[in-house]
Amino acid sequence: MTHRRIRPFLDSLRTEIAGGLRFAAVFMAVFLLFTTFVFALFYIPSGSMRPALEVGDRFAVSKWAYGYSRFSLPWGLPRLLPHAKGRIFGRLPRRGDVVVFVSPKDNLVMVKRVIGLPGDVIETRGGRLYINGRRVARTFLRLSRYRDHHGQIRTAQVYAERFAGARRAHRIYEMSNHMVLDGWSPDDSGPFTVRPGHVFVMGDNRDNSNDSRSPHGPGQIPLENLVGKAETVLFTLARCRHEPGLDCPPPRLWRLM
């Protein structure tokens, strides 16, 4: 290839590379803005939120629901801003919201349901949930036998639980009304008074959830640690075997929470 032919080729190559780099920069900027301020995708690795969220579910979280803090940043960037406190455009979750948050104890990203708001008194007695001294209404639906993600067969009582003033009920699992786990009981715990600027969270799989009740759990969650509100199960990659006498969740695609 002669010099006359090489030069136009190199100029064309430089133009294409520069165009590709500009496109990549714009794409990354838009993606960063989207995942910081609009939506983020998360994955369920455990069964603590059954039956609302199954192992393997991919779900979308709205980051604008409660305002923004350093924990709204993606890719572990919050660790670069350890002293940035508070939220902007902050809003309090509603009792019953399913939220994603960063544990204040170990920085793990977790998902649970908001049970208590600042000033509430939360307690469990004999497997029943009490909020401010009032027992939360629940209705027995059926028994469910299923194989968990560790391969163990479990039997759970399925209840529809409804908070006072809530628009609709949500379903919970109870294995027993007097469960004891590693020296503490999820069914007989508290009372806990929710501190200002915090929320109290629990898993829907009430006897299989490391949550605000547990001495080993994340404790009460500071509002600034909220990442967002779980809105929609987009799809799941998990599959279960259909076995006689065992429940197998159906495929989930674009299901609202």
Model confidence pLDDT, tens digit, residues 110-169? 999 999 999 999 999 999 999 999 999 999 999 999 988 788 899 999 999 999 988 899
Determine the average pLDDT of the residues in 167-180.
Answer: 92
Q: How many CB atoms lie within 10 A of CB 188?
A: 17
3-state secondary structure of 88: strand
Indicate if 61 and 102 belong to the same structural domain: yes
Indicate if 17 and 129 belong to the same structural domain: no
pLDDT at res. 243: 86
Is pLDDT at 173 greater than 90 in this prediction? Answer: yes
**Which domain, by its residues, includes 167?**
38-256
Q: Which residues are known catalytic residues?
A: 48, 112
Indicate if 43 and 124 belong to the same structural domain: yes
Provide the residue type at 138 as one letter: R
3-state secondary structure of 21: helix
Indicate if 121 and 198 belong to the same structural domain: yes
Indicate if 19 and 62 belong to the same structural domain: no
Indicate if 27 and 132 belong to the same structural domain: no
Indicate if 197 and 247 belong to the same structural domain: yes
Determine the average pLDDT of the residues in 28-43.
Answer: 60
Indicate if 160 and 93 belong to the same structural domain: yes
pTM assigned to the model: 0.82
Model confidence pLDDT, tens digit, residues 212-226? 999 999 999 999 999
Determine the average pLDDT of the residues in 21-48.
Answer: 63
Residue percentage of the chain with pLDDT more than 70: 79
pLDDT at res. 165: 85
Indicate if 22 and 53 belong to the same structural domain: no
Is pLDDT at 80 greater than 60 in this prediction? Answer: no
Number of independent structural domains in the chain: 2
Indicate if 13 and 99 belong to the same structural domain: no
Indicate if 84 and 197 belong to the same structural domain: yes
Determine the average pLDDT of the residues in 189-204.
Answer: 97
Indicate if 8 and 116 belong to the same structural domain: no
E-strand stretches of the chain? 39-43, 57-62, 98-102, 109-116, 121-125, 128-131, 134-135, 137-147, 153-162, 170-174, 189-193, 198-202, 221-222, 226-236, 253-256
Name the residue with higher pLDDT: 54 or 160.
160
pLDDT at res. 27: 44
